[in-house]
Amino acid sequence: MRLVLFTALLLRCSAADITSFGAHAGDGSDTTPAVREALRTKPKKLVFPKGRYDFYPSYALEKYLFISNNDEGLKRIGFPIVGFEALEIDGQGSQFVFHGFMSPFLIERSKNVTFKNFSIDFERTFHSEAKVIAIGDDGVDLEISGQFPFKVDRGLLQFIGKSKEPYPFGSILEFDPRRRETAYQARDYYTGPYVEAESIGPRKVRIDVPKLTATVGNILVFGAANRNFPGFTISDSIDTSLTDISIYHCGGMGVIAQRSHNVTLDRVQVTPAPSSGRIVSITADATHFVNCTGRIVMTHCLFENQKDDATNIHGIYAQISRQLAPDEIEVRLVHPQQLGFDFIFPKERLELVHGPSMMTYGDAIVKSVTRVNKEFTRVTFLKPLPKELKTGDVVASAQPGPEVLIANCTFRGNRARGLLLGSRGKTIIEDNVFHIPGAAILFEGDARFWFEQAGVRDVTIRRNRFDNCNYGVWGKATIEVAAGIEPSQRAVSRYNRNITIEDNLFRIFDGGRIVMAYSVDGITIRKNRIERTTDYPPARPAAEPFDIKDSSQVAIR
Amino acid sequence: MRLVLFTALLLRCSAADITSFGAHAGDGSDTTPAVREALRTKPKKLVFPKGRYDFYPSYALEKYLFISNNDEGLKRIGFPIVGFEALEIDGQGSQFVFHGFMSPFLIERSKNVTFKNFSIDFERTFHSEAKVIAIGDDGVDLEISGQFPFKVDRGLLQFIGKSKEPYPFGSILEFDPRRRETAYQARDYYTGPYVEAESIGPRKVRIDVPKLTATVGNILVFGAANRNFPGFTISDSIDTSLTDISIYHCGGMGVIAQRSHNVTLDRVQVTPAPSSGRIVSITADATHFVNCTGRIVMTHCLFENQKDDATNIHGIYAQISRQLAPDEIEVRLVHPQQLGFDFIFPKERLELVHGPSMMTYGDAIVKSVTRVNKEFTRVTFLKPLPKELKTGDVVASAQPGPEVLIANCTFRGNRARGLLLGSRGKTIIEDNVFHIPGAAILFEGDARFWFEQAGVRDVTIRRNRFDNCNYGVWGKATIEVAAGIEPSQRAVSRYNRNITIEDNLFRIFDGGRIVMAYSVDGITIRKNRIERTTDYPPARPAAEPFDIKDSSQVAIR
């Protein structure tokens, strides 16, 4: 104990070596206490000599976290990086393997935190996979590898962990192991926790899910019911970067940054662990950015086989639930995974947005904020609010949003979409490769279900290769510019602005749409190449490749 | 708003009237914001003019609570009484009706808080009740009143609330509506969340639970899966009293006091709401006291038809998980409903207890405490610990425990036991009436499952009427003195001491035991009357009425 303290003091201003805090690589022992001890000394640099380090939740710090678009809760945290001024964690090529229910990394109220050169994985994944071995009238027969323990209890399938603790699921999605992607036109079956099953042999079950279709040889993925354990949670931090990081698995998003300034990912990959035999990497989006500012940079990244989008960059709309005075409103966070996401602070400027049209009709500067609970907040403003304000309208931060650069990345094989772009900052998407079952790029935003603030102002999409996108069900075109605007309002609303799509290659296997857009002010499509392929059967009826409606300043060449 | 503030200031030093904070009795409106506003003014007295007041969770304060023997979590709280020096809440005969998922009262770090003259109930109970209308080979047919909404979804029974939100259950217990008590010899069926069911008509279902037996006309009670919303949670407080309070329903214990000094209940009743037609009052113990000090007084109380014991007075054992140094140990809270129950503080004396024998072999004064998380804590002591200390032993507070007076109360019709007595302070149980399906009085304590510290030192049980107790399955005698001592250690261990049972009337319907005890030092049984009844069929083989084993200083007259 005294030796540890002494070593720690010595290392305070230089690089700390995790092994001097009691960590042992390669022997399966718990590295979590060593990390807690090391972080207590506030090192500038923490080094992990190359090896495998295991992390268990028993001695981990606990903290209640509200993580946007993931699930709130009291979490055990492997690396609780809270209130740091500068820290570099250098894995030197190590593998970090987490056990049980814990969150690998939390970066909170910190500056200048850098992660380098390691992988993260879990001993038992939060999702489970099963191979389809036969299909009959009574159900679908599955073979389940030993890495996904399960039991059949009173006629219901339950996935479990080492100590028989439940690993709850909520959906089934079919993957094609030859192409290593979601099966052609596969859709989600939302099962809830109940799937009827009977044991038909060692590690074999027959499941009975109404209307489930599947192909022998394919993999059914049982999706984790919750997003409790994201890989990297970055909250209220400045200058965070990840370089040469492999996220093989986590129980939520890979990197979720909220209210943070400048996030850089270079050579980050989200991919199933090599030789794990798994088809799915992580259980939700590879990355996700909420109410961030400064710059978001993703370069030389590979995001594949995760159970949701490659990225989503947006703000949060809070719904006006009541007007309490001419200068006072009560707002409500509506989406369950946004509860507790506090983004309204004194002196900040909020925009006021008409719910049905998504049109901004004013802004106002916050005077004071009273948090009622994770759901409701009262806000007073410096001046009376516009008369046209209505209950059901929404407010959001009026900050310009981050500049975005996504370049030289590959996105493929995951569920749903590629990039959801919603920042009002200058956004450049260049030299990437997309092979995505839904829309490769989606512009969204709505004030009625997801409550995600979006609406771009300056986007350039250039020199990308869109390779047979839209082979699944999550989208109507390779590039889709949409928004939750009521159809009657689309002719007047201009939610997204100034989108240029140029010098791209679109390889398409059917006659469906390449770009589909409405309510856009300024869209230029030029110098793109289109190649026909026969890689998939046609899925959609032939249509105009570029379908732009209810928009202004449209140029298609 | 300004008027409210003005009124509040006026009332600061006198009685505040809840209606001056915007509350309206009788119209179903939400009283929660008025209570928050009123409590903000720190009144000495808060009065509710007689009427019905409704409370909703929407605008309630939120707080993460660890509540011993209930379930931890982020709770919405109706009356968050935190850090008060003196407060009287006078309901003047009002009904307080709570809606949805919320905790009625929290008293935390407060002194001198008094509650008077009101009832609490919930619009939708956390448990559900169903009448048995037929029994066949395919299952048990039930009729379920409109106050317990439910649905059958994919062949499974689910209880729900007004907005179809789930009200999960985990067990079934049969009640006899004529006697208004648990059915003769009924036992718990632990179902988990799954009960197979089919709809057989409006508000009628057939359920299929393996081995379930029931009698037509009886009530099956589906027990709430969690104890999330106790009635009164008293934490780290001094001098709390409840007078003329009716707890008709809550989703956990009625009154749970932890680490608190002096708790007085006079004319408190736990009973199903009159004219509700319900058979069950609350979902867990009527009262429960953990690591309390000073005096616990319960007089003129009626605790009936709750889903667990009438009271349980005990401390908490933490298990020694590792010895880290001669003067340092790591301890673990083991029972899931004790996690986060922090009771070890610097300067306090802890007792060291041998796990298998429950024998105390030493004590030690705490020097410093480091909380690792809700499960683990590191403790250093002023002196090295005894050599005989072993991993798996337990520690507990060595404080003497509260004096206890329970007098002129009636306990009946609930599940399980009456009083669980575990305080080392002087304990008097007198002039009460017991009609309990299990043991009317139980002395317990163990270091392997419940981790409840007990072991009395001075108990007098006198002038009580024990009326046909033990008609159910939860006990071996009307008064049972036991403990989780390994059978091989019972001859040497003396866990409970100085128990006098005198001048009581025992009305018994079979030849089973009246008092059963082991490992006691000092038990005197005298001047009790025994009356035979024919109120129930005999359940147990004839035995010695007083069965005392492995004990010293035994006197039976």
- What are the DSSP calls for B453-522, one per residue? E---S-EEEES-EEES---SSS-SEEEEE--S--GGGTTT---EEEEEEES-EEEESSS-EEEEEESEEE
Q: How many CB atoms lie within 10 A of CB A424?
A: 21
Q: Quote the percentage of chain A above a pLDDT of 70.
A: 97
Nearest alpha carbon to residue B496 among B518, B477, B515: B518
Tokens of A313: 């960059």
CA distance A63 to chain B (A): 9
- The lowest-confidence range among A214-223, A498-507, B416-425, B539-548 is B539-548
Q: What angle do CA B425, B428, B433 make, to 5 degrees?
A: 140
Q: Which of A551, A344, A324 shows the shortest CA–CA distance to A453?
A: A344
Residues A245 and A118: beta-carbon distance below 8 Å? yes
Query: Is it the case that residue B9 has pLDDT exceeding 70?
Result: no
Q: Is B3 an 8 Å CB contact of chain A?
A: no
Q: What chain B residue is nearest to A154 in terms of C-alpha separation?
A: B194
Give, in order, the Cα–Cα distances in Å from B42 to each of A549, B12, B35, B53.
60, 7, 11, 21
Q: Is A5 on the interface with B (CB under 8 A)?
A: no
Range 190-219 of B in CB contact (< 8 A) with A = 192-194, 196
Please determine, for residue B11, whether its predicted confidence score (pLDDT) is greater than 60. no
Residue A206, classed as helix, strand or coil, is: strand
Amino acid at A522: G
Q: Show Cβ contacts of residue B399 under 8 Å, excluding neighbours closer than 6 positions.
A: B291, B293, B348, B349
pLDDT digits (tens, 9 = 90+) for B112-123: 999 999 999 999
Q: Does residue B365 contact residue B339 with C-beta atoms inside 8 Å?
A: no
The pLDDT, as a whole number, for residue A540 is: 87
**B157 — phi, psi (to 5°)?**
-80, 130
CB A274 within 8 A of CB A180: no
pLDDT, average across residues A91-110:
98
Work out the average pLDDT over A99-108. Answer: 98
| Contact between residue A260 and residue A168 where contact means Cβ atoms under 8 Å apart | no
**Predicted confidence (pLDDT) at residue B431 exceeds the cutoff of 60:** yes
Core vs surface per residue B192-207: b (16+ CB within 10 A) or e: eebbbbeebeeebbbb
Does residue A36 sit in helix, strand or coil?
helix
Segment A243-247 shows an average pLDDT of: 98
Looking at residue B1, its pLDDT comes to 45
Position A512 scores a pLDDT of 84
- The mean pLDDT of chain B is 96
What amino acid occupies position B366? Answer: V
* A340-344, A509-513, B9-13, range with the lowest pLDDT: B9-13
Contacts across the A-B interface (CB distance below 8 Å): 43
pLDDT band for B540, please (50, 70, 90 cuts).
confident
Report CB contact under 8 Å: A373, B76.
Answer: yes
Q: Nearest CB to B194: which of A156, A324, A372?
A: A156
Residue B421, pLDDT score? 98
* Cβ within 8 Å of A, B 46-65: 58-62, 64
Report whether pLDDT(B550) > 60.
yes
- Output the CA–CA distances (angstroms, integers) from residue B219 to B149, B176, B280, in the order listed: 16, 6, 10
> Given this model, what pLDDT does residue B182 score?
98
Contact B58 A156 (CB under 8 A): no
In angstroms, what separates the C-alpha of B59 from chain A's closest C-alpha? 6
Report the residue of B102, B106, B154 to disrupt the A interface, i.e. the one with the largest count of A CBs within 10 Å: B154
Q: Which two tokens stand for residue A63?
A: 């903290």
Q: Give Cβ neighbours of residue B499 (< 8 Å, ≥ 6 apart).
A: B443, B456, B459, B461, B481, B517, B520, B522, B523, B524
Q: Rounded to an integer, what distance in angstroms lies between the CA atom of residue A139 and that of residue A133?
A: 11
Task: Summarize the confidence of residues B273-287 as an average pLDDT.
Answer: 97
Q: Which helix (H) or strand (E) holds A6?
A: helix A2-11
CA A3 → CA A7, A9, A33, A461, B440, distances in Å?
6, 10, 15, 56, 57
* pLDDT surpassing 70 at residue A470: yes
The predicted model gives B202-216 an average pLDDT of 95
3-class DSSP state for residue A83?
coil
CB-neighbour burial class of residue A336 (10 A; exposed 0-12, middle 13-18, buried 19+): exposed
**A56, A368, A372, best to mutate vs chain B, most B CBs in 10 Å:** A372
Average pLDDT over residues B283-299: 98
Among the listed ranges A10-14, A465-469, A543-547, B504-508, which one has the minimum average pLDDT value? A10-14
What is the pTM for the complete model shown? 0.94
Please give the Cα distance from A114 to A79 (Å, whole number).
13
Distance from CA of B62 to the nearest CA of A (A): 6
Q: What is the predicted pLDDT for the residue at B557?
A: 86
User: What is the signed CA dihedral for A47, A49, A53, A58, rounded to 10 degrees?
Assistant: -40
Contact between chains at B58 and A375 (C-beta distance less than 8 A)? yes
Query: Could you tell me the two tokens for A384?
Result: 């009376």
pLDDT at site B3: 52
Portion 386-445 of A in contact with B at CB < 8 A: none
pLDDT at B154: 85
**B61 vs A325: CB contact, 8 Å cut-off?**
no
* pLDDT (0 to 100) of residue A1: 45
* Closest partner CB to B373 (pick from A1, A76, A374): A76
A220-239 pLDDT tens trace: 999 999 999 999 999 999 99
Instruction: Using alpha carbons, select from B78, B436, B70 the residue that is nearest to residue B224.
Output: B70
Chain Cα centroid distance, residue A128:
19
Question: Residues A542-556: what's their mean pLDDT?
Answer: 94
CB neighbour class for A295 (10 Å; exposed up to 12, middle 13-18, buried from 19): middle
With pLDDT > 90 as the criterion, what percentage of chain A qualifies?
93
Distance from CA of B539 to the nearest CA of A (A): 32
The string of pLDDT tens digits covering residues A62-79 is 999 999 999 999 999 999
Interface mutation vs chain A, best among B63, B372, B378, B380, most A CBs within 10 Å: B372
Share of chain B above pLDDT 70, in %: 97
Look at residue B348 and tell me whether its pLDDT is greater than 70. Answer: yes
